[in-house]
Amino acid sequence: MKPEILPPLSATMHVRPTGWRFGVKLWLPLFLLWLLLLPILILALPFLFVAAVIFRIKLWRSLKAANGVLAATRGSEVEVDNRGARIFFKLH
């Protein structure tokens, strides 16, 4: 599977409160979240299929597009630095 079609598999977060010599670095395994959500998605598929028929939505195309949006968030970064703390978050 191409990496660019996978949703972000992990995230890193660095938090350093002002005055602290060292910050806290967190590695968040997002792939576990997707693994947990996968059975829910499978269970919801029949309902999604019915909803897609009612609202005339192409289900496969919609799921693919939604996954595309998730996958496209890889590489996003947010950094906030104020007098309270410095926070950095990145999706991998």
Partner 1 sequence: MNDNRRQILDMLAEGKITAEEAERLIAALERGDVPAARPPGNFKYLRVLVDANDPLDGPTKVNVRVPMQLLRAGVKLTGVIPDRAREQVNEAMRKEGIPFDINKLTPDNLEDMIEQLRDLTVDVDNASAKVRVFCE
Q: Which residues bind partner 1 (CB under 8 A)?
A: 4, 55-58, 61-62, 65-66, 68-69, 71-84
CA-CA distance, 6 to 51, in Å (whole number)?
A: 25
Q: Which of 26, 21, 20 is nearest to 92 (CA)?
A: 26
Closest CB to partner 1 among 24 and 53? 53
Give min distance, CB of 69 to partner 1, in A: 4
Closest CB to partner 1 among 37 and 73? 73
Give min distance, CB of 50 to partner 1, in A: 15
CA-CA distance, 21 to 4, in Å (whole number)?
A: 37
Tell me if residue 83 falls in helix, strand or coil.
Answer: coil
Closest CB to partner 1 among 29 and 76? 76
Give min distance, CB of 33 to partner 1, in A: 19
Give min distance, CB of 48 to partner 1, in A: 12
Tell me if residue 77 falls in helix, strand or coil.
Answer: strand
CB 16 within 8 A of CB 89: no
